[in-house]
Amino acid sequence: MSGPAIIAIVVGGLIVVGGLLTWMMIWLRKDYKESVEGVLNRLNEEAPRRGWRYEEREDNYNQVFDEVQQYAPLSATVIGFDRQPSAVRAHEVVTGQHRGRPFLSARFYIKDPTDINGPGSMHDEHAIWVRTPAPRPTLDVRSVPRLQSSVGGALGMGDLRIGHQEFDARYQVTAENEQFARDVLSPQLIDFLLTDSRTFQGFWLRGQQLEVIGDIVPDHRDPGPLSAALDLRCDILDRIPQQVWT
């Protein structure tokens, strides 16, 4: 085969591949746009009925994010940050009440300052937070591999033992106030964390907000998945004794 023929085949192949990639990018962009339009249509239909409010951007909610950061995030081993991030912008904000509890669902654009973990960065962080009745000390409860929980406890890395063998083997509890942690982790909540079939890895309390760790919400604006996420958070709060808030 002659050189020009080989070149023609290669060039033709590149044109075909380039065309396919271009078509794929257009199709994916169109599919994403249609998906977002569907989410917003459902939200516009459901929000008035539920008493929810949607704002494409409202930076006043940066204050809510920053207030949470005022409460100790506990050890870098557990949380992953020594730094105190701050919100720069608040996008796609849904607010309202679910099962009688105020919530905030938003995409924050945040700034991480430089610290011992490395240089600062700017990135998105999603939040689906349900407000608690009162601010309380930071508590982080998350599932970890059994070996990690055992090693953390042996090294004194803040892994609080509750006294329930199965729970202590599966969950790492890090608390600013040990008694508060024990009061929160009622037998009903421990049983829930051990037996609930939904996919999540625990929760944290900081200030006056509760967040669930590890639950996957495809779009925090979509009423169906958002309601399911809020149900999970409310189910946890329902099992926390009321006296911890008084």
88, 113: one domain: yes
Query: Are residues 13 and 90 both part of a single domain?
Result: no
pLDDT tens digit string along 64-75?
A: 999 999 987 775
Kindly state the tokens that stand for 19.
Answer: 């065309």
- Same domain? 76 vs 46: no
Print the domain residue range for 132: 51-245
- Contact of 100 with 205, CB cutoff 8 Å: no
Return the closest-CA partner of residue 95 out of 106, 109, 108, 107: 106
Instruction: Tell me, yes or no, whether 79 and 28 share the same domain.
Output: no
The reply to whether 61 and 29 lie within a common domain is no
**Counting every residue, how long is the chain?**
246
Say if residue 4 is in the same domain as residue 71.
Answer: no
- Distance from C-alpha of 125 to C-alpha of 48, rounded to nearest angstrom: 26
Q: Do residues 38 and 135 share a domain?
A: no
Same domain, 144 and 221: yes
Q: Are residues 152 and 44 in the same domain?
A: no
Cα–Cα distance, 240 to 34 (Å, whole number): 40
At residue 12, what is the residue type? Answer: G
Contact 61, 109 (CB under 8 A): no
How does pLDDT run along the chain (246 residues), one tens digit per residue?
Answer: 666 666 666 666 667 665 656 545 554 454 556 678 999 999 999 999 999 999 999 999 999 999 999 987 775 444 444 568 999 999 999 999 999 999 999 999 999 887 666 677 899 999 999 999 999 999 999 999 855 555 555 544 457 999 999 999 999 999 999 999 999 999 999 999 999 999 999 999 999 999 999 999 999 999 999 999 999 999 999 999 999 999
Write the single-letter amino acid at 206: R
- Looking at the fold, whether 61 and 77 belong to one and the same domain comes out as yes
**pTM of the predicted model over 0.85:** no
Distance CA 69, CA 86 (A): 8
Query: Residue 3 burial (CB < 10 Å; 0-12/13-18/19+)?
Result: exposed
Distances (CA, A) of 116 to 31, 71, 76, 83: 41, 19, 10, 8
215 and 94: one domain?
yes
Number of domain units in the chain: 2
Do 80 and 115 belong to one domain?
yes
